[in-house]
Amino acid sequence: AAVHPQAAGLLGFTPVPVSRADTVAVPEGYRTQVFLPWGTPLLPGAPAFLRNATNSAADQEKQVGSHHDGMHFFPIDLKQGGQSSSEGLLVMNHEYVDPNMLHQFGGNQAPRDVEQVHKEIAAHGVSVAHIRQRPNRQWELVQESHYNRRITGNTLMELTGPVRGHAKVITPFSPDGTRTRGTLNNCAHGVTPWGTYLTCEENWAGLFVSHDREQPREHERYSVARGMSWNQWDTAAAKDPQLARFNASKLGASARDDYRNEPNTFGWIVEIDPFNPNSTPVKHTAMGRFAHEGIIFAKAEAGKPLVAYSGDDARNEYIYKFVSAKPYDPVSAGPHLLDEGSLYVARFNDDGSGDWLPLDFHNPVFQAKALAAGHVFDSQADVLLNTRLAADIMGATPMDRPEWGAVHPTSGEVYFTLTNNSQRPPEMVNAANPRAWNQNGHIIRWRESNGLRFNWDIFVFSGDVFTSTPEHGLMLTNDNHHASPDGLWFDPNGLLWIQTDMSGSQLSRGPFGNNAMLAANVQSHTIKRFLVGPVGCEVTGVVMTPDCKTMFVNIQHPGEGSGPYSFSSTWPDRGITRPRSATVVITKEDGGIIGT
């Protein structure tokens, strides 16, 4: 999109100070509207949200999910070539659930209650909400729209790409290894050039348990739980056999008799067509299996392959690049482009150069390195199922927890947040991750050069004003210091929006106050704090309408760590109530461009 003429004077707002107030603070001249909080009735017949959290699992299936995260606004007329900024489909991830918030008196002990488990599964996934702006500029949900949709941890999905039909994805539910149920722990997202939504499976491994002494590499390298999974959904299987799929132990004679392979159907990038409410979501296995934070496409150019980047958010994991086998053609572009292609992993060299290393079963270098390391793969499908292991073999650079990526709208430069890394000892530092025990995180960026090479540098070292390490002359001040950058998005004017996800003592006692969102002009290396969230929240997920006059920001888990009997936050409802994740709609009082 072209730079808006009014965008001259970007970052003209007065920075928002650090705060620990239980509210959303934005600069003077901006106003906010709370929108689509957890529990909002979305589908026909959905009951109202009950403030004591006594809605049933069946209610939750028809209501907006919990823990809002990555999201995108699709103009309602997109398929007709339009760019509506007053009506569209807002599609958002619901990353996970907090039983202390989701249930009246919190989650019960194992064996878990079947109704509670089903409510938790229903609160995960994705919401598609048809929304429009009224003449008074307030936004509303279009009730009864056939586009409104919930995708949950139980929705039928297809596997496509090389892993479809592989022996390691055979389950009793899908003996031919082509289907699975649900998407879980969807953090950030992506948007395809053909106008569909990609939702990315991040911390799914903790929801499965295996009691086997010997775990296959497909489980072990991803930390499938041993002993006890986070939510212990498997413990309700005695009362509901459907829930046995969360126990990945070998219990029967073969993969058709137990759910040993169920975790292998997670860790993928999932495509949802929001304009086709009856479409079956598709898990694209060619893009690799790991703790996908999100996916960001380079600008699509006709006649050239599609390129996309995805980070694996775990300590000392990697950044990946997918290149489609077929060239992009704006007329015929579609999901098939994501089913066939090459997957690469990044090595950041200390001299500021970088290399994309192929994770390719047919590549002789890969084969030789795998053999030397004593690892055997039976096919590209096997490589993809074990993407992390393949990346280890190729010598990728372990990063400080890669979260979101963003591509500059004109220069094509790629920016990635590296949120923090408590597990990087001094002997493991490298130029791209130069801080031992990296508390505050940093933002790295690169430009593609020739072939499989790139050039990188650090955009900013996050941190407080006292320990600020000036990079490109940028000294952090009270107006822009921050820590644990996570959400990242370039708006069409080229402003970089940075969202923070601090937790623990960094959040409760640090100099940074509550989690926040900042805006950066990457040309002038200027950063200003634009928004501060309520108590205990993470600020994550940001998008604007095409005219840049409405911004949507997600506030995830206000009051985290409290409940179920008393809460540290009552945002956004106030009074004697529990906090709720919600979207915040931001407009300028003068109707102008956000961020000017």
Structure tokens at 248: 């990945």
Q: CB 473: neighbour CB atoms within 10 A? A: 6
CB 67 → Ca ion: shortest distance, Å?
7
Residue placing its CB nearer to ligand FEO in the complex, 288 or 341: 288
CB 47 → Ca ion: shortest distance, Å?
27
| 471 vs 474: CA distance, rounded Å | 5
CB 267 → Ca ion: shortest distance, Å?
16
Residue placing its CB nearer to Ca ion in the complex, 75 or 99: 99
Residue placing its CB nearer to Ca ion in the complex, 300 or 483: 483
Q: Which does 61 bind (CB under 5 to 8 A by kind): ligand FEO, Ca ion, none?
A: none
Structure tokens at 176: 């031919």
Q: Which does 202 bind (CB under 5 to 8 A by kind): ligand FEO, Ca ion, none?
A: ligand FEO
Q: Which does 98 bind (CB under 5 to 8 A by kind): Ca ion, ligand FEO, none?
A: none
DSSP 235: G
CB 103 → ligand FEO: shortest distance, Å?
22
Cβ–Cβ < 8 Å for 149, 274: yes
Q: Which does 355 bind (CB under 5 to 8 A by kind): Ca ion, ligand FEO, none?
A: none
Residue placing its CB nearer to Ca ion in the complex, 141 or 507: 507
Asked if 542 is part of the footprint of ligand FEO (rule: CB under 6 A), the reply reads no
Structure tokens at 323: 């290149």
Amino acid at 276: N
Asked if 317 is part of the footprint of ligand FEO (rule: CB under 6 A), the reply reads no
| 76 vs 146: CA distance, rounded Å | 13
CB 547 → Ca ion: shortest distance, Å?
27
Q: Which does 339 bind (CB under 5 to 8 A by kind): ligand FEO, Ca ion, none?
A: none
How many residues sit close enough to ligand FEO to count as binding (CB under 6 A)?
7
CB 98 → ligand FEO: shortest distance, Å?
14
Q: CB 550: neighbour CB atoms within 10 A? A: 24
Which window, 20-28, 269-277, 400-408, 439-447, contacts Ca ion (CB under 5 A)?
Answer: 400-408
Asked if 313 is part of the footprint of ligand FEO (rule: CB under 6 A), the reply reads yes
Give 233's contacts (C-beta < 8 A, 6+ positions apart). 112, 117, 120, 121, 207, 243, 246
Cβ–Cβ < 8 Å for 341, 325: yes
Query: Scanning the structure block, which residue is given the tokens 């002009």?
Result: 521
Asked if 59 is part of the footprint of ligand FEO (rule: CB under 6 A), the reply reads no
Asked if 95 is part of the footprint of ligand FEO (rule: CB under 6 A), the reply reads yes
| CA neighbor of 131 nearest in space, from 123, 141, 122 | 141
Cβ–Cβ < 8 Å for 238, 157: no
User: What residues does 584 pair with on adjacent strands?
Assistant: 34, 553
First vs last C-alpha separation in the chain: 17
| 177 vs 170: CA distance, rounded Å | 4
Asked if 202 is part of the footprint of ligand FEO (rule: CB under 6 A), the reply reads yes
CB 246 → ligand FEO: shortest distance, Å?
20
Asked if 403 is part of the footprint of ligand FEO (rule: CB under 6 A), the reply reads yes
Residues contributing to the site for Ca ion (CB under 5 A): 187, 403, 486, 501, 538
Residues contributing to the site for ligand FEO (CB under 6 A): 95, 187, 202, 293, 313, 403, 486
